[in-house]
Amino acid sequence: MAKKKVAVLTGGGDAPGLNAVIYTLTKTCILKYGYELIGYKFGYRGLYTNDFMPLTLENTTGILHKGGSILYSSNKDNLFDYKVMENGVPVRKDVSHVAVENLKKEGVDVLVVLGGDGTLTSARDFSRLGINVIGVPKTIDNDLMATDRTFGFDTAVNIVTEALGRLHTTAESHHRVIVVEVMGRNAGWIALYGGIAGSADIILLPEIPYTVDNIVQKIRERDARGKMFTIIVVSEGAKEEGGEVTVSKVVADSPDPIRLGGIAHKLSYQLEERIGEEHEIRPVVLGHTQRGGETSPYDRILSARYGSHAARMIHDEAYGQMVCLKKGEISSVPLEEVVGAQKLVDPNCELVQVARDLGISFGDRHVHRFK
């Protein structure tokens, strides 16, 4: 079989595990199959500008544990709707043909795309143009329907759990209510997993609308039991009953312009008005700390499995598909079935019930009196 040339890019927000996939894919492709690899920089932007670097055993050594991406990333560059300047005026155009020509010019046989829903949507569209594409699922939000787990999620949960442990001691010392905002967009997986693991008292999810009254009731129940502090974990996409999500800003030139954020401060102000005489309220926004630092052992292993399987798919010419994890086994699913549907928390799922059994409140009408 002829030697293949493989191109790799990382798109969307960075996530721990990207480098682990690059590391494993590069080593497997070179050592097992003898392929040549290049990496496009800054996601699809590099594919448009033809900005790439070789991926070798030498320049990928020692990156398995590192967060971020040695290829860098961008969450603004959709080549099917790309901002270019014409006569000094910014316009949006489909420039995907430029990327296709660049791939052909460099003799690329296969494009491996590491990303979430937006990045994989473009991967599917390039597949429709006849490019041999393989996708690898990445997002700390864990909201891709086609796989049981995305790499980056476990590391983010570990960071949230550690932060909650640190916040518990200061909250208890000062009898404070601390509102901790975590990422996740419209999916509450990080808040749910991190909240349970970090012994939160209240968890607010996008999937379960809350009321401030129910939150205040839970805080006062804890006060009555001598628990004079409360830890609230709130997902950035959480909202009150009948309300809307809290938007921090709109990035006009992004394919996904709405940036969520600010719910911790908003809720803190609301609680201050209600129980400010009883408690100090402190908002904490974990923000991009959830994306940084070293990759967790679980995510390193998952990423290695994904990278190894992607190399095998290249060898088998199983194009137009995404690597996935289903019931503990690594397999693949067509890119056509990957995008367009988010995996959200089922309000009636086992883990929500476990949290309720522990006395954790979700700010809804279902109230426990134990924790």
The residue assigned the tokens 């709405």 is 258
For residue 254, the domain's CATH number is 3.40.50.460
Does pLDDT of 367 surpass 90? no
Q: Give the contacts of 302 (CB within 8 A, at least 6 positions apart).
A: 17, 149, 151, 154, 325
Same domain, 64 and 177: no
Instruction: With respect to residue 371, please indicate whether it lies within any of the assigned structural domains.
Output: no
pLDDT at 1: 57
Instruction: With respect to residue 19, please indicate whether it lies within any of the assigned structural domains.
Output: yes
pLDDT at 256: 66
Residues 74-100 have pLDDT tens digits of: 888 899 999 888 888 888 999 999 999
Instruction: With respect to residue 362, please indicate whether it lies within any of the assigned structural domains.
Output: no
Instruction: With respect to residue 49, please indicate whether it lies within any of the assigned structural domains.
Output: yes
Same domain, 172 and 141: no
pLDDT band at 247 (very low <50, low <70, confident <90, very high): confident
Same domain, 135 and 47: yes
Q: Which of 141, 143, 201, 299 is catalytic?
A: 141
Instruction: With respect to residue 223, please indicate whether it lies within any of the assigned structural domains.
Output: yes
Residues 251-267 have pLDDT tens digits of: 666 656 677 778 999 99
Residue 141 appears among annotated catalytic residues: yes
Same domain, 168 and 312: no
Same domain, 212 and 351: yes
Same domain, 142 and 164: no
Contact 183, 141 (CB under 8 A): yes
Does pLDDT of 331 surpass 80? yes
Same domain, 113 and 127: yes
Closest CA to 303 of 147, 174, 132: 147
Residues 300-309 have pLDDT tens digits of: 999 999 999 9
Dist CA 45 CA 58 (whole Å): 25
Instruction: With respect to residue 251, please indicate whether it lies within any of the assigned structural domains.
Output: yes
Q: What percent of the chain has pLDDT over 70?
A: 96
Burial class (CB in 10 A: 0-12, 13-18, 19+), 293: middle
The residue assigned the tokens 């397999």 is 331
Phi and psi for 263 in degrees, rounded to 5?
A: -65, -35
Instruction: With respect to residue 183, please indicate whether it lies within any of the assigned structural domains.
Output: yes
Instruction: With respect to residue 268, please indicate whether it lies within any of the assigned structural domains.
Output: yes
Same domain, 286 and 310: no
Does pLDDT of 12 surpass 70? yes
Show the tokens assigned to 371.
């924790």
Same domain, 256 and 113: no
Count of structural domains within the chain = 2
Same domain, 286 and 162: yes
Dist CA 237 CA 156 (whole Å): 16
For residue 317, the domain's CATH number is 3.40.50.450
Same domain, 121 and 41: yes
Structural domain of 125: 5-151+295-337
Same domain, 41 and 187: no
